[in-house]
Structure 1
Amino acid sequence: MNYTKVMEAVKKIKETYSGKPRIGLILGSGLGVLADEITAPTVIKYHDVPYFPVSTVEGHAGQFVFGKLEHQEVVAMQGRFHFYEGYSMQDVTFPVRVMKELGVEILIVTNAAGGVNELFHAGDLMLISDHINFTGTSPLIGQNDDHFGPRFPDMSDAYRLDLREQARLLAQNLEIGVREGVYAGFTGPTYETPAEIRMMRTLGADAVGMSTVSEVIVANHCGLRCLGISCITNMAAGILDQPLSHEEVIETTEQVKETFLTYVKALVGNVK
């Protein structure tokens, strides 16, 4: 990843937005509604930022929203990029590096995921405790740029324990039932087969999806503290006798919208 390109993107954004966001939010499929809660918003379309890809998936608006949320200065990615859209892993994670250079310290990553743990139900929220990278690649492959981080970054606390502890306590106070588990990242765009899901369960995965892993790798590389939240939008292949669809994903996120909004807003307002 080219440091000069990142700084050109940052410079372009600062022509429109002069603030310094402390918290970054990456909003997954159907979860972009959270950005509508940001007050005094400054909206910057991805296509107006140099070197940015463009979101092509339903439920991803394709814009940055800067402003205040629960008295915190934030930037929300209303729509993310995916490896299956044909972008490189470096392109997919480019916005994470841009957010870091804009001043972000904490990154809250959300996604829509399939439930692998048979105790889960569609509509559950899951704090990500760790991940399994099943994409077969990494956004850090290639020459390392020390501007961003070390050649061999540590991933033993990728989803920060201190943030998860705060998130668990907040959920209790709000009386919101929150699961916790391991997220397995695949490339997509096909949904996983029943055999792959059985394998994932054997390996210790609780949920599966097509994003997040590469973003969190890069966030850790450049020193961001990460918190991950999956919305379990459907049970993964082979658990229920029904086909999987993106329409179901969007429908479930709509159903849990209010709980999701309440929880993430509380997190933004309280995380330290």
Structure 2
Amino acid sequence: MSLPEYIPEIKSFLTEHGFPEQVDAAVILGSGLGSFGDHIENSDTIPYEDIPSFPVSTVEGHSGSLIFGEVGGKSVVAFSGRFHHYEGHDFAKTVLPVQLASVFGVNKLIISNAAGGINLRYHVGDLMIIDSIIKQFMMVSEPAVSTWSSRFEEYALEVKQIARDLGIETQMGTYLYVKGPNYESKAEIKAFRKMGGDAVGMSTAPELIEAAKLDIKTAAISLITNAAAGVTGEKLDHAEVKEAADKKKEVFARLVKGLIQQF
């Protein structure tokens, strides 16, 4: 599969600034989860705005920097902040981190996000391993669903076992993608629950589809940072995201480090 010409150009820029030609693992950090960067050893950080052809993340809770270093002897590149369609980026640009991971030859990609809980059994602070997605209003091509779905479900089961071995409790469920940026209405959440959605968010699905097209082994984890509209009757507030992420950051970091080593 051919990649946009700016992807190898970005790689050249990064290797000229000390990045290696090949990296073991890549991590995309969602809202409020950027503190994982503190767990990367011997790190080198480059702001997105300093990288040619790189978009700039404008969302609260996304620092907007690329971090390279090591975790347990494995070379890791972490994207502290992502690019959302609702920020004005076309879908081709939102998957830039996945494409860059591909040209660095990563053998595992870990995608995280903050999501609203739809499943009434979920609680704020739960970690949900994504084993399926529902795509709403997304205009991107995708690989053959049969092969991708079965393979991704296998990856999710592997992540579940690694989490269990680490003593970390997780949920497993379906992530429903919406374009945003507004939170969903009560009626929409009710409909999404009937469709089979367990959590809802404004990212990740395009990245998962791109990773499948590029044949990258991928784990995807949602941190349930708030109950979706109509679940509790409380008004939704982005501050909830940061608060929930802060409470779970050490458990999240332990799971990601385990995945870097074992996935």
Task: Name the TM-score, length of structure 1 as normaliser.
Answer: 0.91
Deviation at 1:49, TM superposition (A): 1.8
Structure 2 residue aligned with 1:155: 145
Asked whether the equivalents of residues 184 and 208 of structure 1 are also in contact (C-alpha less than 8 Å), the reply is: yes
- Partner of 1:256, secondary structure, is helix
Q: Which runs of 5+ in 1 are unaligned?
A: 141-151
Structure 1 residue aligned with 2:191: 199
Equivalent in 228, 232, 235 of residue 236 of structure 1: 228
Q: Measured at CA, do residues 223 and 58 of structure 1 come closer, stay the same or move farther in structure 2, by a change above 3 Å? A: same
Structure 2 residue aligned with 1:4: 5
Structure 1 residue aligned with 2:106: 104
User: What is the CA–CA distance in structure 2 between the aligned matches of 1:185 and 1:168, rounded to whole Å?
Assistant: 22
User: What is the CA–CA distance in structure 2 between the aligned matches of 1:121 and 1:187, rounded to whole Å?
Assistant: 23
Asked whether the equivalents of residues 28 and 97 of structure 2 are also in contact (C-alpha less than 8 Å), the reply is: no
Once structures 1 and 2 are overlaid, which stretch shifts more, 209-218 or 165-174?
A: 165-174
Structure 1 residue identity aligned to 2:128: M
User: What is the CA–CA distance in structure 2 between the aligned matches of 1:109 and 1:270, rounded to whole Å?
Assistant: 16
Tell me the alpha carbon deviations over residues 209-239 of structure 1, each in whole angstroms, 9 at most, x when there is no partner: 0000111111111111111000000111011
Alignment of 1:188-227 (within 5 A): 188-227=180-219
User: What is the CA–CA distance in structure 2 between the aligned matches of 1:109 and 1:35, rounded to whole Å?
Assistant: 14
Structure 2 residue identity aligned to 1:153: P
Structure 2 residue aligned with 1:266: 258
Structure 2 residue identity aligned to 1:84: Y
Structure 2 residue aligned with 1:250: 242
Deviation at 1:105, TM superposition (A): 2.2
Deviation at 1:2, TM superposition (A): 5.6
User: What is the CA–CA distance in structure 1 between the aligned matches of 2:193 and 2:66, rounded to whole Å?
Assistant: 35
- Partner of 2:121, secondary structure, is coil
Structure 1 residue identity aligned to 2:8: M
Structure 1 residue aligned with 2:36: 34
Tell me the alpha carbon deviations over residues 7-64 of structure 1, each in whole angstroms, 9 at most, x when there is no partner: 1111111111125212110000000111111111121221222211001011111111
Structure 2 residue aligned with 1:91: 93
Structure 2 residue aligned with 1:66: 68
Q: Which runs of 5+ in 2 are unaligned?
A: none
User: What is the CA–CA distance in structure 2 between the aligned matches of 1:265 and 1:54, rounded to whole Å?
Assistant: 26
Q: Measured at CA, do residues 193 and 224 of structure 1 come closer, stay the same or move farther in structure 2, by a change above 3 Å? A: same
Deviation at 1:166, TM superposition (A): 2.5
Structure 2 residue identity aligned to 1:81: F
Q: How many corresponding residue pairs?
A: 259
Structure 1 residue aligned with 2:118: 116
User: What is the CA–CA distance in structure 1 between the aligned matches of 2:111 and 2:244, rounded to whole Å?
Assistant: 18
Asked whether the equivalents of residues 124 and 178 of structure 1 are also in contact (C-alpha less than 8 Å), the reply is: yes
Structure 2 residue identity aligned to 1:7: P
- Partner of 1:262, secondary structure, is helix
Structure 1 residue identity aligned to 2:252: F
- Partner of 1:130, secondary structure, is strand
Deviation at 1:68, TM superposition (A): 0.7
Question: Percent identity, aligned pairs only?
Answer: 39
User: What is the CA–CA distance in structure 1 between the aligned matches of 2:5 and 2:159, rounded to whole Å?
Assistant: 36
Deviation at 1:171, TM superposition (A): 2.0
Q: Measured at CA, do residues 66 and 155 of structure 1 come closer, stay the same or move farther in structure 2, by a change above 3 Å? A: farther
Deviation at 1:153, TM superposition (A): 1.7
Once structures 1 and 2 are overlaid, which stretch shifts more, 16-25 or 174-183?
A: 16-25
Asked whether the equivalents of residues 108 and 260 of structure 2 are also in contact (C-alpha less than 8 Å), the reply is: no
Structure 2 residue aligned with 1:143: none
Task: Name the TM-score, length of structure 2 as normaliser.
Answer: 0.94
Asked whether the equivalents of residues 70 and 266 of structure 1 are also in contact (C-alpha less than 8 Å), the reply is: no
User: What is the CA–CA distance in structure 2 between the aligned matches of 1:191 and 1:168, rounded to whole Å?
Assistant: 29
Structure 1 residue identity aligned to 2:9: E
Structure 1 residue identity aligned to 2:16: E
Structure 1 residue identity aligned to 2:131: S
User: What is the CA–CA distance in structure 2 between the aligned matches of 1:250 and 1:21, rounded to whole Å?
Assistant: 29
